[in-house]
């Protein structure tokens, strides 16, 4: 038991050394989380980052967070990851998070830059990636992804590299987004296309 407590406090101390913040409790872990953190990665938290905001006992689902060398998570507000999320930041990548949440079983692959704004509601089984990872004809298409404010993203949506989602947009369930989404539009399909303009939504 003493050994386990020692390991726990060493782990907590390591996490604290990576956090830049003025908040008393910037990082809240409410569920099983598997960390794989480089010593040179950083959390810059102006608010709160929560892992496992909604949890179920004995599901066996963990949140996975891997951060490679010099990667960074920036939080402005309170951001929540629900159970089962799988997040990887590659070398020198930056993940910027606003006052929003991502539901269960989401996957994030950040090679360079992914930004999620404020008041976004992102459903389960969501995938976002800013790179193809592998090269095709000499190009892996690594380009920043930006989700602006007040965006509603349905279940099983995939957003690919280089996409900007405008303010107030809605992305229908099952869509694969390969191009920019205009503000206040409803898009859907594979690939996603504009289905309706001038939409408004609220929780």
In angstroms, the CA 162 to CA 189 distance is 18
CA atoms within 13 A on the CB side of 200: 0
Strand partners for 196: 186
Tokens 């949140």 belong to: 63
From residue 144, how far is each of 44, 45, 131 by CA, in Å?
19, 21, 8
Length of the chain: 203
What is the 8-class DSSP label of residue 139?
A: B
**In this structure, what is the dihedral angle of CA atoms 32, 79, 168, 105, given to the nearest 10 degrees?**
-10
Q: Which residues are catalytic?
A: 134
Q: Give one DSSP letter per residue of 27-60, joined into a string.
A: EEE-S-EEEEE-TT-EEEEEEEEEE-SS--TT--
Peptide bond into 191 cis (omega under 30): yes
């Amino acid at each position: 038991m003493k050994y386990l407590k020692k390991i726990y406090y060493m782990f907590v101390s390591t996490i604290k050394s990576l956090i830049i913040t003025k908040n008393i409790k910037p990082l809240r872990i409410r569920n099983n989380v598997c960390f794989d953190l480089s010593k040179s990665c950083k959390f810059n938290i102006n608010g709160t980052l929560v892992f496992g905001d909604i949890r179920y006992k004995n599901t066996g689902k963990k949140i996975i967070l891997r951060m490679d060398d010099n990667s960074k998570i920036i939080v402005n507000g309170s951001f929540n990851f629900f159970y089962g999320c799988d997040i990887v930041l590659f070398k020198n990548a930056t993940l910027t998070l606003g006052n929003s949440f991502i539901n269960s079983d989401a996957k994030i692959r950040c090679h360079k830059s992914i930004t999620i704004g404020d008041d976004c509601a992102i459903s389960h089984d969501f995938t976002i990636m800013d790179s193809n990872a592998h090269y095709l004809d000499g190009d892996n298409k690594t380009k920043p992804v930006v989700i602006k404010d007040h965006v509603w993203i349905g279940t099983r949506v995939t957003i690919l590299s280089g996409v900007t989602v405008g303010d107030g947009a809605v992305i229908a369930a099952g869509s694969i987004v390969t191009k920019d989404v205009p503000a206040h539009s409803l898009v859907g399909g594979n690939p996603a296309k504009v289905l309706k303009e001038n939409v408004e939504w609220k929780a």
